[in-house]
């Protein structure tokens, strides 16, 4: 089940919200857990057992760590056990196929028979719920949160369906108070509806309309320079509106239930360095990598070389987290290399003014990275890069001209117009918001437009402007629902991770 489906919009969500608000506070977390398990089992019932087993195991590990004491040797042993088991589960289901295929490539080159392994299906959302489980037991070990004795609350935290499939990557320490005490108001519910509709529009109205352009260009066996660049910029827009749209929907659904999740995007395409980009893009993952991987590797506490090494390794492993493919590893290494270079150059990650050259160079680096991120394999990536930098033919082939529609091109132009408008507006409203949002989960705020972290409180704009804005969102949402009903399939890109 996905958010952008009629089953979710007109069956699952109304029934759940009706039961949720009819039940008392005492039973709402249990209802949320049951609903989340139904939401997950809609995909495959058999993998629900693995999901529940990982949850119970980490709940038990958390209790063992808590009983042993903060940062004690005994607690460290329990922590190591928990992390190793979690990573083994993730490694088996996500990387076993890749490992065997890579091994067979080597042995086949020596004329040996390849090793045979039955193809392993990747459980949806496993990267997210394993990371969240690991963060919980590490936080208990560090003393950042006490070990919870409430299995229902912990299981509901891991399984809460708004973020279950594609994030944001949440942390138990940020939500534990909200599981015990959260507010349910008409204003918060209305804010959640608006955020959900904004995300739905981003996904269905923009991302799904741009997707055929990227799919066509990346599938060409001999793309021209123009087709290669068109595919790259189309995917750059598609990925942002798809993933930021999902995150906005997740945040909106959380608000409908009284939760306030952290923002996951903060106008990333106005960044003027890769360092700033990662403070604006997938904020929940980048902060997770910083707090639990980069710092664990030593952070910047060692020599200059060790700091650069830690930055590079963090992004390399972050790339591998996205999928078992050499393309993701190279993508992570690409970003890690530029983070280390910028660290060496002392790049300002929170600029107060817009430098067009720095912005253009950063955007170019991001687009080039997205090419290998999107490519199915290294051959496709090489074909795209070769075409992009041949500069021989900027035209489009007859096949491409016949394939593309004026609506798709117009939507692509609209997408970049939206990115530019909201990015520039947000930058000049507060140029220092390149940092990840400082407000903790649970603090009240306003509606953030189109995946940005800058809150727009009700009193900032005139009442009539707010009303017109909400009416426009509602109309676009209705149009997006009609568009969704006319198309057969609307998957989210980050489901594969």
Catalytic residues: 322
In angstroms, the CA 264 to CA 478 distance is: 25
Q: Is 279 exposed, middle or buried (0-12, 13-18, 19+ CB in 10 A)?
A: buried
3-state DSSP assignment of residue 473: helix
71 vs 67, 139, 140, 144, 146, CA distance in Å? 11, 10, 9, 11, 13
Instruction: For 33, list phi and psi in degrees, rounded to 5.
Output: -65, -50
Among candidate residues 183, 158, 182, the one with its CA nearest the CA of residue 170:
158
Long-range contacts of 27-35 (CB under 8 A, 24+ apart): 28/257, 29/152, 29/153, 29/156, 29/179, 30/152, 30/156, 32/156, 32/160, 32/161, 32/257, 33/152, 33/155, 33/156, 33/159, 35/161
Q: Which residues contact 138 (CB under 8 A, 6 or more apart)?
A: 79, 83, 292
User: Which residue has 């973020």 as its token pair?
Assistant: 163
Q: Is 332 exposed, middle or buried (0-12, 13-18, 19+ CB in 10 A)?
A: buried
Q: How many CB atoms lie within 10 A of CB 253?
A: 24
Torsion of the alpha carbons at 35, 172, 258 and 200, rounded to the nearest 10: -70
In angstroms, the CA 482 to CA 461 distance is: 30
Among candidate residues 372, 399, 391, 407, the one with its CA nearest the CA of residue 217:
399
């Amino acid at each position: 089940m996905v958010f952008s489906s009629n089953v979710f919009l007109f069956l699952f969500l109304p029934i759940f919200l009706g039961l949720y608000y009819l039940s008392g506070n005492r039973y709402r977390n249990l209802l949320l857990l049951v609903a989340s398990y139904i939401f997950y089992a809609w995909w495959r019932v058999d993998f629900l057992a693995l999901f529940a087993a990982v949850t119970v195991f980490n709940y038990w590990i958390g209790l063992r760590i808590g009983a042993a004491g903060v940062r004690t040797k005994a607690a460290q042993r329990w922590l190591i056990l928990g992390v190793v088991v979690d990573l083994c589960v993730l490694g088996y289901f996500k990387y076993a196929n890749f490992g065997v295929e890579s091994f067979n490539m080597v042995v086949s080159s020596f004329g040996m028979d390849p090793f045979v392994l039955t193809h392993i299906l990747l459980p949806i959302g496993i990267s997210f719920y394993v990371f969240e489980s690991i963060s919980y037991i590490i936080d208990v070990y560090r003393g950042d949160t006490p070990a919870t004795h409430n299995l229902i609350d912990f299981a509901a935290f891991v399984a809460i369906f708004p973020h279950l499939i594609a994030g944001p990557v949440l942390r138990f320490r940020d939500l534990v108070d909200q599981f015990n005490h959260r507010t349910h108001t008409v204003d918060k519910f209305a804010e959640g509806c608006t955020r959900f509709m904004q995300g739905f529009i981003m996904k269905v109205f923009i991302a799904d309309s741009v997707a055929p352009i990227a799919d066509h260009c990346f599938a060409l066996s001999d793309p021209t320079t123009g087709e290669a660049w068109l595919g790259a910029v189309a995917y750059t827009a598609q990925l942002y509106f798809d993933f930021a749209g999902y995150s906005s929907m997740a945040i909106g659904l959380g608000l409908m239930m009284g939760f306030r999740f952290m923002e996951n995007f903060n106008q990333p395409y106005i960044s003027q360095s890769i360092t700033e980009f990662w403070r604006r893009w997938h904020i929940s993952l980048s902060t997770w990598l910083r707090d639990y991987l980069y710092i664990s590797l030593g952070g910047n506490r060692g020599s200059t070389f060790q700091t650069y090494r830690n930055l590079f390794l963090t992004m390399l492993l972050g790339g591998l987290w996205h999928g078992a493919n050499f393309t993701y590893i190279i993508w992570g290494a690409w970003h890690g290399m530029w983070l280390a270079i910028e660290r060496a150059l002392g790049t300002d990650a929170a600029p107060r003014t817009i430098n067009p050259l720095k912005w253009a160079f950063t955007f170019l680096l991001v687009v080039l990275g997205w090419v290998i991120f999107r490519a199915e394999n290294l051959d496709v990536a090489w074909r795209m890069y070769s075409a992009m930098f041949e500069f021989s033919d900027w035209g489009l082939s007859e096949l491409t001209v016949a394939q593309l529609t004026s609506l798709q091109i117009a939507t692509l132009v609209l997408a970049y117009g939206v990115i530019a408008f909201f990015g520039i507006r947000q930058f000049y409203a507060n140029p220092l918001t390149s940092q990840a949002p400082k407000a903790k989960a649970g603090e009240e705020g306003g509606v953030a437009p189109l995946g940005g972290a800058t809150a727009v409180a009700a009193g900032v704009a005139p009442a009539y402007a707010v009303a017109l804005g909400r009416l426009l969102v509602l109309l676009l949402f209705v149009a997006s629902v009609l568009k969704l009903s006319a198309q057969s399939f609307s998957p989210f890109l980050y489901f594969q991770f």
